[in-house]
A = this chain, B = another copy of it.
Amino acid sequence: MGNADHTYEQLMTAVKEISLLGTSASVLHWDQETYMPPKGAETRGNQVSLLARLAHEQFTDKKIGTMLAEVAQSDLVRDRANDAAVNARELRRAYDRATKIPATLVADISKTAVMGHHAWIDARKESNFTKFKPWLAKMLDLRKQEANYVGYKTVIYDALLDEYEPHETTANLVRVFESLRDPLIELVAKIKSSPRRAPVEILERKYAAAAQEIFARDAAKAVGFDFDAGRLDVSVHPFCTDFSPLDVRMTTRYDEHYFGDAFFGVLHETGHALYGQGLPIEHVGTPLGEPVSLGIHESQSRLWENFVARSRSFWEFFFPKAQTVFGQQLKDVTLDQWYFAVNDVRPSLIRTESDEATYNLHILLRFEMEQAMLNGEISVDDVPRAWNDRMQKYFGLTPPDDAKGALQDTHWSGGAFGYFPTYTLGNLYAAQFFEQARKDLGNLDAMFARGEFAPLLTWLRENIHRHGKRYTARELVQRITGKELSAEPLLNHLRRKAVELYGV
């Protein structure tokens, strides 16, 4: 074994250990959100901070830099498709980012995030933007500093976006999002003008939490979630976290007066979880065992939530089962009514309550706002007005107060500028992947109607999951679909449903 091989093995041992520290912290975080008693919070914070600090110290150690440099100069990376070349490329990216940002700035951002979060909670409660304003200003300043340390080619937003969607650029997002925006505004306006209304009151009958849980578990299992390698629990904010492909935990919450919350929530988290369970076990703890990006991760959750679980064929299989579990609630409901109810489209003020179509307008609004705040086009004073102007333009709605406007999301209090666009990226990727899966696999609807989801899952495993970070998101889209990312597949998907359900 040559020197470089030996160094590469040492590097892998080191990063696998750092990953174990990270997944240990994830277990602690999962417990915090699911089972931890309330008084346990302070010690938990200390435990998680310590593990994060140790992982950061180990990863930014000069030895990692030396090993990376040695591997980068060796034959191991000559072929960029080599495992070692991929791991070296992605570790270099992460190492550069981690070492460029001063520890004092990292600490300042963490502290401001905690305090800003508390300020945001108060501000939203009172619908008082002024209370949040200084924290937003400070966070913008800190993240700009970070971007300057990290560096960027074109605009400051690139440096922040890159943290969540590696190798992506603001310019490329602007290109795709702009081609989505006007047609989507137009489609939503048409739907609004349709005389047809989805019978959403069906979903608002009383559905017992225990029965919802049984039904959601059955669906998660049917589409491929392995309950021997994961769990479904309850938490206030649903999430999915993985400690390895053999231990993936998702959570949900049950609203007994709204069926959609838990069921589509579970299918959404199941999409994330199937990605987690599908990552290559032999590469655990290295970039080749990690997801590509937040956008690709979100494509998996949206694909199962919206493209599968909101399809008519899915309910051809599951609606009779739902009628068995919820006999009383669904005895007078037809499949067509149910299918329409779970595909209600309606302009609304709140992102997290919005539907498959309008959700993306909420994201475009935030994406534009973030860029404008970071490049100084709008000051923090102008945020509520700029927000409300766009709400009027995109939805024809004006928030009655800032709690239902610019204060509705927690993300900015934590400084997560550049995070929101990954949600719509997820929808776009999902649409384009799903279109390709239809071409490759034939009649997916016939399969769903028979309860066959394995062919689709196998296709996703084969084309996406098993590659870890081998390809960038952009390479992956090109490789799978033969095209660059486009708004057309998502628009086509939404238009087809609009015709079918709203006749527009």
Decide if B43 touches A284 in the complex (CB within 8 Å): yes
Known: A35-B35, A42-B244. 8 other contacts (CB 8 A): A20-B50, A27-B27, A28-B28, A35-B233, A37-B231, A40-B243, A44-B247, A47-B243
Q: Is chain A's binding surface mostly helix, strand, loop or mixed?
A: helix
Report A1-51 residues with CB < 8 Å from chain B CB. Answer: 17, 20-21, 23-24, 27-28, 31, 35-40, 42-44, 46-47, 50-51
Smallest distance from the beta carbon of A395 to chain B beta carbons, Å? 42
A446 within 8 A of partner (CB):
no
Decide if B244 touches A43 in the complex (CB within 8 Å): yes
A228 within 8 A of partner (CB):
yes
With a CB–CB cut-off of 8 A, which chain B residues contact A243? 40, 43-44, 47
With a CB–CB cut-off of 8 A, which chain B residues contact A380? none
A interface, CB within 8 angstroms of B: 17, 20-21, 23-24, 27-28, 31, 35-40, 42-44, 46-47, 50-51, 54, 226-231, 233, 243-244, 246-247, 284
With a CB–CB cut-off of 8 A, which chain B residues contact A226? 39
With a CB–CB cut-off of 8 A, which chain B residues contact A21? 50
Smallest distance from the beta carbon of A283 to chain B beta carbons, Å? 13
A246 CA / B243 CA spacing, docked (Å): 26
Decide if B228 touches A37 in the complex (CB within 8 Å): yes
With a CB–CB cut-off of 8 A, which chain B residues contact A46? 20
Partner of A17, one of B28, B39, B50: B50
A110 CA / B229 CA spacing, docked (Å): 27
With a CB–CB cut-off of 8 A, which chain B residues contact A51? 24
Decide if B231 touches A42 in the complex (CB within 8 Å): no
Decide if B227 touches A40 in the complex (CB within 8 Å): no
Smallest distance from the beta carbon of A210 to chain B beta carbons, Å? 13
